Chains A and B, each alone.
Chain A
Amino acid sequence: MCESGSRVTWEGCSVLLDINDGDRLVFARLSPSAKLKIGNKNCSLQPLIGRPFGTAFQVDGPYLSPAQGCLSICDLVNGNNAEELRDVQVSVKSRDKVEDNYPEEERDVQANVDSRDNRELVDNNTAQRLTGEDIEAMRRQGAGGNEIIEALIANSVTFEKKTSFSQEKYRLKKQKKYAPKVLMRRPVARSICEAYFKKYPSKIGFLRVDTLSLLLSMGNVSSNSDILVVDMIGGLLTGAVAERLGGTGFVCNSYSGQAPYSMDIVRIFNLSDEICKRIVRSPISDLLSQKELPEQTLQHDDACNVESRSTDQMSASTSMEDNSHSLENGISDLGAENTEPAKVRKAPKAGERAHKEIIDLWKENGFSSLIIAAPELDTWALVRDVLPLLANSAPFAIYHQYLQPLATCMHNLQLEKMAIGLQITEPWLREYQVLPSRTHPCMQMSSFGGYILSGTKICST
């Protein structure tokens, strides 16, 4: 089975770490020396190598260890053997204690469902009898996160008076602070888009995940297709299209001028070698031009490759901090291995320059579809140049975060009779909380996901 289909992590792969149910999302590249800061702890990512995706972890001193049900594991403190032994004993004790508590909790929750309300609750800031110093002391003595949470609950004057819903919220809030959860996810188009939209939306042109899914559908991305993309959103669109092609057909990432656009995000996808080989780049001018003399083409290629490399170097410095850090570690580790450097050198890099033969083939037959996400280009000028490169009856989809460029483009396409079935759409996405007796839409949501102009190219008469 190819790498991207694997459901188990490997050294050098990308993972998405979901900390506390989406509070924080981090992309990391796994290596024995990679580290991630959670709270005020630096945790090694080595225990994540070889685990199935979807595994949940807890902070365990300098490590992340797989979470085991409700059991907590003490923080281990570096020190002499005597301290370690004592910590181990405390760990055993707390494990037993928590085990006893768990069934009790369930019974309590059921018994506590009643009609209490907040008429007697007063916010006087004296409900919690533990002080910050007390909590720090517990932590130093090796108390686990869940133990601290139980202590906070036991010392809260008002906890028993809260409704069961409030109690659950209180417990969850403390859990996020004292016992953070880390969930390891596969980086796929959906999770990568969601993470970037949440943290760095401007890098992906404010493209929301439902809008990206519409682009792929309206662009009819399917196996054995040749997709022409203009991707100025960091490579997210290119990676998503390549993922859908699955190693068949080609993604031609085209650009105006001579400097390719950044494709950094493609590296997060864990795409297999076969898929990476089929991500190629070309300047739009090459696709539009008549056949060139061989010598000119050769010089052109050399110049462009140099620019491509320098662009990549510049782009690397603007990558997300965690990703850069992990990549550096990965690189240094690979250097230490004997077999790895050869493997890395042989692996094809996504975004090689498209060969002249394949460009000629595309000129003759046309692309299967066109997808554009180019917020910084004049939309109509670009579409006027690029649309003739499509095969007849091929669909296209154009994304923009502003409506006016698409309205102008649609109007002009109608006047010039270049396409039919033209439509501008705007998706709206709402998420719901679905829990017993408390189901409602989420109170915060993304109110805007951008616009898409879609249509089908027709024969010019």
Chain B
Amino acid sequence: MLALHPAKKLSFNRPINNGDLVIVYERHDIMKAVTVSEGSVLQNRFGVFKHSEWIGKPFGSKVVSSKGGFVYLLAPTPELWTLVLNHRTQILYIADISFVIMYLEIVPGCVVLESGTGSGSLTTSLARAVAPSGHVYTFDFHEQRAASARADFERTGLSSLVTVQVRDIQGEGFPDTFTGMADSVFLDLPQPWLVIPSAAKVLRHDGTLCSFSPCIEQVQRTCETLRTCFTDIRTFEVLLRTYEVREEKMQSLCGDGNGSLPSKRRQCSDGSYVLSSSSPSISSVMARPCGEARGHTGYLTFARVKSLS
């Protein structure tokens, strides 16, 4: 998924190979992740697609099925992966993920501790942010989910950047071997306040912490505990609204011979279109918010470990 070595920086422009992970794009809300396997086929409502026909094509290609339907083959990115991955748990989405990485001040070379791993949505973006020389250590107390996450990171090529461990962070805290080593800690746990002392211990000077909680009561308990050894405590909520864009036709109010017709037409029409004088309607590109939106994901609480000086 990531260009981990300079020699691989051209990953977007190389052709699709056997064994590659590709994102099959049918529509903006229908995508799936497929590992290319010569001899395999993909079946969907647009027909049957042979993997062997994909090999050698560049990413971004449109491929046609035996029935004449088509899909696009995209190179995977953490954003696309977040949209296609298997949900073993509730996951974070792009608005929260991007804000977390910005506020934790994560750059290449950072060491990040995360718990729990969940479905690995945030972990993938953390790995991209710390590459090539940083590392993400992620902990989950569910053995099977940890194994599934490990398999996913193998599949997406992130294994060298991510270490998955099975550990009950709420009960045991972070391992002592990480004392003073982490640049950032991210917590997505039901009782994050139990982990605050351990997080303070593993963070280096000026290190940052983030806790994600859906309920405000969790935030209150977390902030109360944070006050003992953290500063700059701030709580946010980030939401996204999306817009639909379409071309709409409007009936002209002006009749033939009306003196204001020319200015009316010029005023209404988009510069991209030439309208004949006899046209009874005018087209314009319109945008409106989508009717549905994600109304709440969770509160993000950020804090900085206190200076010892």
Alpha-carbon separation in the docked complex, A259 to B125 (Å): 36
Evaluate contact between A222 and B3: CB separation under 8 angstroms. Answer: yes
**Residues A190 and B102 in contact in the complex (CB < 8 Å), given A217-B94, A424-B245:** yes
**Residues A403 and B287 in contact in the complex (CB < 8 Å), given A52-B307, A186-B206, A459-B60:** yes
B6 CB–A CB distance under 8 Å: yes
Alpha-carbon separation in the docked complex, A423 to B94 (Å): 13
By beta carbon, the residue of chain B nearest A244 is B107
B224 CB–A CB distance under 8 Å: yes
**Residues A220 and B95 in contact in the complex (CB < 8 Å), given A246-B109, A247-B108:** no
Surface stretch bound by A, among B126-134, B163-171, B194-202: B126-134
Evaluate contact between A404 and B108: CB separation under 8 angstroms. Answer: no
Classify the interface of chain A: helix, strand, loop or mixed: mixed
Evaluate contact between B109 and A7: CB separation under 8 angstroms. Answer: no
B1-41 to A contact mask, C-beta < 8 Å, 1/0: 01111101110110000000000010010000000000000
Residues of A within 8 A of B13 (CB): 365-366, 391-392
B46 CB–A CB distance under 8 Å: no
By beta carbon, the residue of chain A nearest B82 is A217
A194-234 to B contact mask, C-beta < 8 Å, 1/0: 00000000000000011011101110101111100000000
Tell me how many residues of A have a C-beta within 8 Å of chain B.
Answer: 76
By beta carbon, the residue of chain A nearest B132 is A223
**Residues A391 and B12 in contact in the complex (CB < 8 Å), given A225-B3, A407-B287, A425-B240:** yes
Alpha-carbon separation in the docked complex, A85 to B227 (Å): 39
A227 CB to closest chain B CB, in angstroms? 12
Using a CB-CB cutoff of 8 Å, which residues 118-147 of chain A contact chain B?
none
Evaluate contact between B60 and A427: CB separation under 8 angstroms. Answer: no
Evaluate contact between B309 and A411: CB separation under 8 angstroms. Answer: no
B152 CB–A CB distance under 8 Å: no
Residues of B within 8 A of A420 (CB): 25, 28, 72
Evaluate contact between A427 and B77: CB separation under 8 angstroms. Answer: no
B282 CB–A CB distance under 8 Å: no
**Residues A434 and B301 in contact in the complex (CB < 8 Å), given A224-B4, A391-B13:** yes
Residues of A within 8 A of B239 (CB): 427-428
Q: Mind listing 22 A-B residue pairs with CB under 8 Å?
A: A217-B125, A218-B79, A223-B4, A226-B9, A244-B107, A246-B107, A365-B10, A368-B12, A392-B59, A393-B73, A394-B12, A411-B246, A411-B285, A427-B240, A427-B241, A429-B237, A430-B236, A432-B219, A432-B235, A433-B235, A456-B60, A458-B62
Known: A246-B109, A456-B60; 19 extra A-B contacts, CB below 8 A, are: A7-B206, A188-B105, A210-B98, A210-B238, A218-B79, A220-B128, A222-B3, A222-B129, A223-B131, A244-B129, A249-B9, A368-B9, A391-B12, A393-B12, A393-B73, A424-B243, A428-B239, A436-B220, A457-B60
A residues near B, CB below 8 A?
Answer: 4-5, 7, 51-56, 66, 186, 188-190, 209-210, 212-214, 216-218, 220, 222-226, 243-249, 365-366, 368, 380, 391-395, 403-404, 406-408, 410-412, 420-436, 439, 451, 456-459, 461
